[in-house]
Amino acid sequence: MVITGIGAVTPVGIGRETSWRNLLAGRSGVGPVTAFDPSEFPTRIAAQVTGFDPADHLDAKRIRRSARFSQFAVVAAREAVADAKLEVDADNSGRIGVVVNAAVAGFDTVEAATRGLTAAQPVTPSSYFVPSSLTNMPACEVAIDLGVHGPVNASALACASGLYALLDARRLILAGEADVVVCGGTDAAITPVMFAGLSAMGAMSQRNDDPAGASRPFSADRDGFVFGEGAVLMVVESAEHAARRGVTPYATVAGGALTCDAFHVSAPGPDGAHATAAIGDALRRAEVHPSEVDYICAHGTSTQANDRTETRAIRAALGEAARQVAVSSPKSMVGHLIGAAGSLGAMVCALAIRDGVVPPTINLDQPDPQCDLDYVPHVARKLPVRVAATNAFGFGGQNCVVVFRAPE
């Protein structure tokens, strides 16, 4: 299976190429929260998508009926489909599927409706409230927008959601259920209740006076992740189908794996054994030797436990080859996009293969002695990338890894 189109709505740009340029430039998309008044919270920063006006992309009826995470997905899907030069018509619409995953889904609409209903003067929720909040709605909105009738699916694997969408799409294609699948992840839930809950967990950075420096994966002085929002969607199809259409792929999705720590609802298994297994299984299924891996787009959340566990897992899975591979975390710039985090990692791998350059891990000023790999600090690096992998590790211990090869 190959990737033939990519679309993105991220905290560092609306559009694939804008986002990519800013990632390579090491620009941070983190800033003060403007979605609500955060003054009562210990964390008052986030990685928001700025400059996104749904009216620039969608008609008034669709805006009324859809939540922000669905709007992001539709815009990203349109870009991906245009990039793939995919024409949808009556002959092929039944062979095109959609897999768009989310983690927190319509959390913002649920919170807004609850506040309205419990206000001193209650406000009845919109008739679109229930459907707009559902986890499957971005996938369905994308299908409606594109006019496709193949298999449409959505699932939630916390922070592994967006990456797992590629594996689900791959299965649909290998099973012969679809010729083309539009897939990826989306989320948009920068809200007071979300911040209250994450603050209670002590999960988020409190570097409010230095937003751009707040997300610090693998740095000894990291103090938590930065909550973000966005969507990254891709068009995938078999190599043969892409060749028949005359399009040039970005990368081959060579293999992947999904494991579970079965350890804790939020903390990773401390020995990283099952994250290690996911990396190792993905490499074996892709028929890739550890020494062939040029780049790993890390989960790299900027939390103490994740960064050390991920480092341990990479070392264990790759052995001596771990010392030679470049590893970086885009979350240092875009924060944690939750349901879209894994699909952003897939985009980074595909574009790194295309351009022969990998984005940096910014803010890596004081490397953690327990995080001792090559994290591409501060500046992007020119690097021929033939094989890349990306990790996505979610709450509940869900470990998803996908391996990419340069197209033949």
Mean pLDDT of 88-99: 97
Q: Which of 198, 220, 245 is the last residue of a domain?
A: 245
Mean pLDDT of 81-103: 98
- Do 290 and 388 lie in one domain? The reply is yes
- Do 224 and 279 lie in one domain? The reply is no
Mean pLDDT of 214-227: 98
pLDDT tens track for 17-59: 999 999 999 999 999 999 999 999 999 999 999 999 999 999 9
The pLDDT of residue 406 is above 90 = yes
- Give the type of residue at 121: Q
- Do 222 and 341 lie in one domain? The reply is no
In this predicted structure, what is the pLDDT of residue 344?
Answer: 98
- Do 230 and 312 lie in one domain? The reply is no
Residue environment code for 291-322, b if the CB has 16+ CB neighbours within 10 A, otherwise e: eebbbbbbbbbbbeebbbbbbbbbbbbbeeeb
Q: Return the active site residues.
A: 159, 299, 336
CB atoms closer than 10 angstroms to residue 60: 9
| Total number of domains constituting the chain | 2
In this predicted structure, what is the pLDDT of residue 308?
Answer: 97
- Quote the crossing angle between the two packed helices 107-117 and 192-201, to the nearest 10°: 110
- Do 215 and 268 lie in one domain? The reply is no
In this predicted structure, what is the pLDDT of residue 55?
Answer: 97
In this predicted structure, what is the pLDDT of residue 213?
Answer: 98
- Do 65 and 134 lie in one domain? The reply is yes
| CATH code assigned at 212 | 3.40.47.10
Mean pLDDT of 164-181: 98
pLDDT tens track for 241-287: 999 999 999 999 999 999 999 999 988 998 999 999 999 999 999 99
115: Cβ contacts below 8 Å, ≥ 6 apart = none
The pLDDT of residue 15 is above 90 = yes
CB atoms closer than 10 angstroms to residue 61: 9
- Do 277 and 207 lie in one domain? The reply is no
The mean pLDDT value of the chain amounts to 97
The pLDDT of residue 408 is above 90 = no
Q: Which of 245, 279, 302 is the last residue of a domain?
A: 245
- Do 272 and 371 lie in one domain? The reply is yes
- Do 11 and 126 lie in one domain? The reply is yes
Q: Which domain holds residue 344?
A: 254-405
In this predicted structure, what is the pLDDT of residue 28?
Answer: 98
- Do 48 and 162 lie in one domain? The reply is yes
- Do 261 and 282 lie in one domain? The reply is yes
Q: What are the tokens at 237?
A: 């199809």
The pLDDT of residue 227 is above 90 = yes
Mean pLDDT of 275-302: 98
Q: Which of 217, 245, 273 is the last residue of a domain?
A: 245
- Do 179 and 52 lie in one domain? The reply is yes
Q: What are the tokens at 344?
A: 């952003």
